[in-house]
Amino acid sequence: MPTSADRNAPIPPLPETHLAAEVVTQPDDWTRAARTAADHAALLPQPGERVAVIGCGTSYFMSRAIAALRESAGQGLTDAWPAGQVRSREYDRYLVICRSGTTTEVLEAMRALPDGVPRAVICSSPGTPVLELADPILIADVDEQSVVQTRFATTALAMLRWHLGEDLAPVIAQAREVLAEDLAESLAAVRSAEQISFVGMGFAAAVADEAGLKLRESCQSWTEGYLATEWRHGPVSIAAPGRAVWAFGPVPSGLAQDVAATGAHFEHRDIDPMADLVRVHRLCQVRAADLGLDPDHPRSLNRSVILG
Per-residue model confidence as pLDDT tens digits over 223-277:
999 999 999 999 999 999 999 999 999 999 999 999 999 999 999 999 999 999 9
Q: What is the CA radius of gyration of the chain?
A: 19
For 78-109, the pLDDT digits (tens) are 999 999 999 989 999 999 999 999 999 999 99
pLDDT category of residue 305 using cuts at 50, 70 and 90: confident
pLDDT value at 5 more than 50: no
Residue 14 main-chain phi, psi, to 5 deg = -80, 150
For 20-63, the pLDDT digits (tens) are 999 999 999 999 999 999 999 999 999 999 999 999 999 999 99
Mean of pLDDT over the chain: 94
Chain length of the chain: 308
Burial class, 237, CB count within 10 angstroms (exposed 0-12 / middle 13-18 / buried 19+):
exposed
pLDDT value at 159 more than 70: yes
The three-state secondary structure class of 83 is helix
What pLDDT, on a 0 to 100 scale, did the predictor assign at position 4? 46
Cα–Cα distance, 181 to 40 (Å, whole number): 35
Cα–Cα distance, 87 to 254 (Å, whole number): 37
Burial 99-138 (b: 16+ CB within 10 A, else e): bbbbbebbbebbeebeeeebbbbbbbbeebbbbebbebbb
For 105-151, the pLDDT digits (tens) are 999 999 999 999 999 999 999 999 999 999 999 999 999 999 999 99
Query: What is the arithmetic mean of pLDDT over 68-79?
Result: 98
pTM: 0.94
Of 284, 256, 260, 282, nearest to 270 (Cα)?
Answer: 256
Amino acid at position 142, single letter: V
Of 29, 46, 56, nearest to 304 (Cα)?
Answer: 56
Query: In this predicted structure, which of 147-151, 158-162, 183-187 has the lowest mean pLDDT?
Result: 183-187
What pLDDT, on a 0 to 100 scale, did the predictor assign at position 239? 98
For 207-227, the pLDDT digits (tens) are 999 999 999 999 999 999 999
What pLDDT, on a 0 to 100 scale, did the predictor assign at position 298? 83
What pLDDT, on a 0 to 100 scale, did the predictor assign at position 303? 75
